[in-house]
Amino acid sequence: MKNRKTMKAAVIDRYGPPEIQSIRRVAVPEPSAGEVRLEVHVATVGRTDTATLRGHPFFARLMTGLLKPKMQTLGMDFAGVVDAVGDGVSSFKVGDRVFGISPENFGAHAEYLCIPADGAIAHIPDILPFDQAVVGEGAWYASGTTDMLSKGDRCLIYGASGAIGTAAVQLAKARGAFVVAVVGTRHLELAKNLGADHIVNYETEDFTKIGERFDLVFDAVGKTSWRACRPLLNKDGVFSATDLGPGWSNIVLSTWFGITGSRRVRIPFPENAPGFIRHLAELMARGEYRGVFDRYYALEDIVDAFRYVETEQKTGIVVILPD
Ligand SMILES: NC(=O)c1ccc[n+]([C@@H]2O[C@H](COP(=O)([O-])OP(=O)(O)OC[C@H]3O[C@@H](n4cnc5c(N)ncnc54)[C@H](OP(=O)(O)O)[C@@H]3O)[C@@H](O)[C@H]2O)c1
C-alpha cells in the first residue's frame, strides 16, 4: 500500500548533467479545480527531458527558467490511472486509464502527477497496456511537420528510427503521403514495419543522390542540413527540421524564408497538444499508430536512463516505470 501523503519523485534543483537528479520523497500534489491527479504507471525520458535538464539551448531557459529550472521534476509523457479529480471535472473519473503529455510543467518522473482535465490527456484505448501508451512526446513534435502533408504528397524522413522519426513515418502514412525513410542498417526492418514505402540505408547509400524529388524533407534527428537536402526538393518543397542545424543555420534560414514568404525551411513547433493527444488515441484505437520502445528503467535508475538517451542512439522511446 502506498503512502498517500508523500511520493517518490526524481527531483532537480538546478541545471546540469543526469547525475544532479535525486530520488526523494516529496508531497503528493493535490488536484486544483479543473485538474485530475493520476497515479503514474509509465513515463519516458525523451530528448526534451535531457535538453531541459541541461538548460540547453540557453534561449530555451526563457521558458524553463533563466537561472534554475522552474519545474522540480521532469517527465513529459505519462500513462496511468486517475486517482483524484478536482472540482468541476466531468470528463474523467477515478479509475480511468489515461495517457498524454505535460509539455509546460513536466512532472511525470514521479508516482503522482496533476494535469488540467482539458490539457493533453485522453483515455487509453482498451486494446493498449499502459506501457504502450507513452507515445505522446515524439509524436506531437513529429506532427508539427507531418501536418503539412496532404494525401499523395511525397516526403522523405531522415532519421526515421528515433522517437520523432518513428512517429513521423506513421503520421505521414496516416495522412496518405508516400514515405521514404532514411535509417541505418540496424533499423531497416523497423522502417519497413512502420509502413515506409521505400527505405534508404544512410550507411551504404548517399540519400541525397537517390534521384527523386519530394514535397517535404524532414530531418527528424538533426543530423543533416538544408544545403545537403536541397537537391531532393521539388520547386515548392519544404525542408523541416527538429534541430537548430549546423551553426544554427536552420534558425537563420527559417527566419530568412519567413521574411521572403516562401517558408521553404521550417523548424515547426507543434500546437494544440490536447487535440493532438485525442487524435493519437483515435489512431491507436484503430491500430494505425503504435509506439516503438527501447529500454525500460525503474525510477531509481533514472540517471542511467538519461545517460542512455544522451547517447543519441535510442530506438524510439525510453520508458520509466515509477513503481
Ligand atoms: N531541444 C529539445 O527540447 C528537443 C526535444 C525533442 C527533440 N529534439 C531534437 O529532435 C531530434 C530527434 O529527437 P529524437 O528523440 O527523436 O531522437 P533520438 O530518438 O535520440 O534519435 C536517435 C536515433 O537516431 C539515429 N541516428 C543517429 N545518428 C544518425 C544519423 N547520422 N543519421 C540518421 N539517423 C541517425 C539512431 O540510430 P542509428 O545511429 O543506428 O542510425 C537512433 O535510432 C534531435 O535532434 C533532438 O535534438 C530536441
- Ligand 1 — pocket residues by CB below 6 A? 46-48, 51, 138, 141, 159, 161-165, 183-184, 186-187, 202, 220-223, 242-243, 312-315
- What digits encode the pLDDT tens for the residues 59-87? 999 999 999 999 999 999 999 999 999 99
Residue nearest to atom 3 of ligand 1 (CA): 48
Pairwise CA distance, residues 305 & 176, whole Å = 35
Question: Among 15, 47, 225, 295, which residue has the most ligand 1 atoms within 8 Å of its CB, making it the best to mutate?
Answer: 47
- pLDDT tens string 158-211: 999 999 999 999 999 999 999 999 999 999 999 999 999 999 999 999 999 999
Centroid of ligand 1 to alpha carbon of 316 (angstroms) = 9
In order of their start, the domains of the chain are: 6-137+272-321 (3.90.180.10), 148-266 (3.40.50.720)
- DSSP, res 175: T
pLDDT tier at 323, thresholds 50, 70, 90:
confident
Q: pLDDT for 6-56, tens place per residue?
A: 999 999 999 999 999 999 999 999 999 999 999 999 999 999 999 999 999
At 284-320, the pLDDT tens digits run 999 999 999 999 999 999 999 999 999 999 999 999 9
Question: How would residue 2 be classed by pLDDT, with cut points 50, 70 and 90?
Answer: low
* 314 CA to centre of ligand 1 in angstroms: 8
Q: Is the peptide bond before 29 cis (omega within 30 degrees of 0)?
A: no
> Alpha carbon of 255 to those of 147, 197, 259, 270: distances in Å?
20, 32, 6, 17
Q: Which atom of ligand 1 is nearest to the CA of 165?
A: 16
Nearest protein Cα to ligand 1, atom 5: 48
The DSSP symbol for 23 reads E
On the 0-12 / 13-18 / 19+ scale of CB atoms within 10 A, 228 is: middle
Q: Which atom of ligand 1 is nearest to the CA of 223?
A: 31
Rounded Cα distance, 184 and 277, in Å:
29
Minimal CA–CA distance to 21: which of 298, 306, 214, 308? 306
Q: What is the pTM of this model?
A: 0.96
DSSP class of residue 260 equals H
What DSSP string describes 86-149?
Answer: -TT--S--TT-EEEEE-TTT---SBSEEEEETTSSEEEPPTT--GGG---HHHHHHHHHHHTT-
Closest CA to 92 of 131, 147, 34: 34
pLDDT tens, 76-128? Answer: 999 999 999 999 999 999 999 999 999 999 999 999 999 999 999 999 999 99
How many whole angstroms from 242 Cα to the centroid of ligand 1? Answer: 9
> Per residue in 276-300, is it b (16+ CB within 10 Å) or e — as a string?
bbebbbebbeeeebbbbbbbebebe
Q: What are the residues facing 45 on neighbouring strands?
A: 318
pLDDT in tens, 196-208: 999 999 999 999 9
Give the residue whose CA is nearest to atom 26 of ligand 1. 159
